Amino acid sequence: MTVKLSLASLNDAAATAAVPAYDPKSLTPGIVHFGVGNFHRAHQAVYLDDLFNTGKAHDWAIIGAGVMPSDAAMRDKLKAQDFLTTVVEQDNNKTAARVTAPMIDIIAPDHKAALVAKLADPAIRIVSMTITEGGYFIDAAGNFNPKHPAMVEDGANPTNPKTVFGLIIAGLRLRRERGIAPFTVMSCDNIPGNGHVTENTLVGLARLSDPDFAQWIHDNVAFPNSMVDRITPATGPRELDILRQDFNIDDNWPVFCEEFKQWVMEDNFPAGRPRLEEVGVQFVPDVAPYELMKIRILNGGHAAIAYPGELLDIHFVHEAMEHPLIRAFLAKLEKEEIIPIVPPVPDTKLDEYFDLIERRFLNPKIGDTIPRLAQDGSNRQPKFILPSTRDRLAQGKDIVGLSLVSALWCRYFAGTSDSGRQIVFNDASAEKLHEAALKAKDNPEAFLAFDEIFGEVSSSALFRERFAHALKTLWTEGTAKTLQLYLADQLVR
């Protein structure tokens, strides 16, 4: 009989999993976190759990916060098990489970007043977020977009906010009215300069309704930049079954992840912070080199293999990496076009970093999927692929491989794989991208017309030429042959 996860059953769960060395009931909150998804529970929450297990920082527990309907479902599932999470770490040679308990509550989306009140609580000294790359209301250049409908609505109705940023502004305003020092706002998303981007969005939104308060936020609130890394697939029936069969634990929403994890942060926390350096977090003067390395090489690598994987009907990431053409395509792309324009990183050899990335992508136990990597490309391409394209063009360098990545993304949005299988999209802009991709079969410019995605890159004659030729080759020769031509340096007219 499996153990149904709860505080009452922790002793039983300890037979197969590590359990907290602290009493979760003794924790008090210091952090409000927006976006209690798998990545947060495999990353930030695990670091805090590690620290709590040393007997320290028990006043830094997490209060989860949600604004989406899916957040309410997450709250219901986690509340039923006292907000515990089973984290299963999988390496090539071992699999281990641990129960983490740093979260003590989640405030559901329909309790807005309670959430704003919690944000104004002096005990809350950090507000963090994992809201995905698409949650920051920015354009292709990374600038705040005040014309986004959600920003227009929150700007016009600051006392009834609906977005994460509107809620944070409401909490900060209440703190200022009560004479309470502001909390630090900490992004944990894969965005270059995530602290700067978060500040620009928050200040930009506040400026729509109260320019003086926007200036106060700019002058008084800290936004440390950070780099986060841990491959964390979605949870499905496969993961639930593995947990029950291998660990005898019944968890409503467990998290599976790789063993590797990394967190690099700027030490800019005027309201205080937990001593996370004691459990492996790197605090550095400048996160930018680490962040750029990870976003260009790892996230860019994921984006590169996602679409040939989909077009060749491959489901798992490790299976895509086992395909000789896809693995060779990734290596050539990284070594010839991406890595050469990544600036130096302290104490890091970029070729060795890519070797590590390859090993991580090849991990068969993770069960990460190509459809997960392929989702939300309209937000991921401008952040993970197109900046490398832009930088190479600015340096007068060719972009055969990077243009192929964009062409593969376009071919994917035509809606069928090479075998004719129907592709299921997961992208906020899916409908218009699908329509444009179908037109692009005869007119490649139709797909490049999305300025909010391609920005200045689409104005390059070389990029347009390389993209058009790669897309034509994908349609006439298929994905496998196109990759072969690229590997043989023959994908040019």
d(CA 27, CA 243): 27
CA distances for 31 relative to 7, 48, 179, 224, 429, angstroms: 21, 11, 19, 15, 33
CB atoms within 10 A of CB 426: 11
CA distances for 25 relative to 16, 67, 360, angstroms: 22, 26, 36
Could you give phi then psi for residue 386, rounded to 5 degrees?
A: -65, -30
Note whether 384 and 370 are within 8 A (CB). Answer: no
Say what the pLDDT of residue 69 is: 85
Note whether 59 and 69 are within 8 A (CB). Answer: no
Could you give phi then psi for residue 265, rounded to 5 degrees?
A: -140, 150
The torsion of the CA quartet 290, 133, 209, 196, rounded to 10 degrees, works out to 10
- Nearest Cα residue to 413 out of 396, 427, 393, 433: 433
Residue 467 corresponds to which tokens in the numbers above?
């993209």
The set of residues, in sequence order, having a beta carbon less than 8 Å from that of 459 and lying 6+ positions away, is none
Say what the pLDDT of residue 134 is: 85
DSSP assignment, residue 296?
Answer: I
Helix/strand/coil (H/E/C) assignment for every residue in 415-472 = CECCCCCECCCCCCCHHHHHHHHHHHCCCCHHHHCCHHHHHHHHHCHHHHHHHHHHHH
Helix, strand, coil percent content, the chain, rounded in steps of 5 = 50, 15, 35
The set of residues, in sequence order, having a beta carbon less than 8 Å from that of 232 and lying 6+ positions away, is 38, 39, 42, 43, 255, 256, 257, 258
d(CA 273, CA 275): 6
CA distances for 99 relative to 9, 22, 37, 137, 261, angstroms: 11, 12, 16, 35, 17
- Nearest Cα residue to 440 out of 422, 428, 454: 454
Say what the pLDDT of residue 432 is: 97
CA angle, residues 144, 149, 155, in degrees to nearest 5? 70
The set of residues, in sequence order, having a beta carbon less than 8 Å from that of 162 and lying 6+ positions away, is 67, 150, 153, 154
| CB contact burial 316-350 (16+ within 10 A = b; e otherwise) | bbbbbbebebbbebbebbbeebbbebbeebeeeeb
Note whether 317 and 298 are within 8 A (CB). Answer: no
DSSP assignment, residue 294?
Answer: I
Q: pLDDT truncated to tens, each residue of the chain (493 aa)?
A: 899 999 999 999 999 999 999 999 999 999 999 999 999 999 999 999 999 999 999 999 999 998 988 899 999 999 999 999 999 999 888 899 999 999 999 998 889 999 999 999 999 999 999 998 889 998 867 889 999 999 999 999 999 999 999 999 999 999 999 999 999 999 999 888 999 999 999 999 999 999 999 999 999 999 999 999 999 999 999 999 999 999 999 999 999 999 999 999 999 999 999 999 999 999 999 999 999 999 999 999 999 999 999 999 999 999 999 999 999 999 999 999 999 999 999 989 999 999 999 999 999 999 899 999 999 999 999 999 999 999 999 999 999 999 999 999 999 999 999 999 999 999 999 999 999 999 999 999 999 999 989 999 999 999 999 999 999 999 999 999 999 999 999 999 7
List of E strands, 226-304 = 226-229, 249-250, 255-258, 262-265, 282-283
Residue pointed to by tokens 């023959």:
490
Name the β-bridge partners of 63: 32, 105
Half-sphere exposure of 347 (CA within 13 A, CB side): 2
Alpha helices in 367-429 (DSSP H): 370-374, 377-384, 386-394, 400-412
Say what the pLDDT of residue 70 is: 84
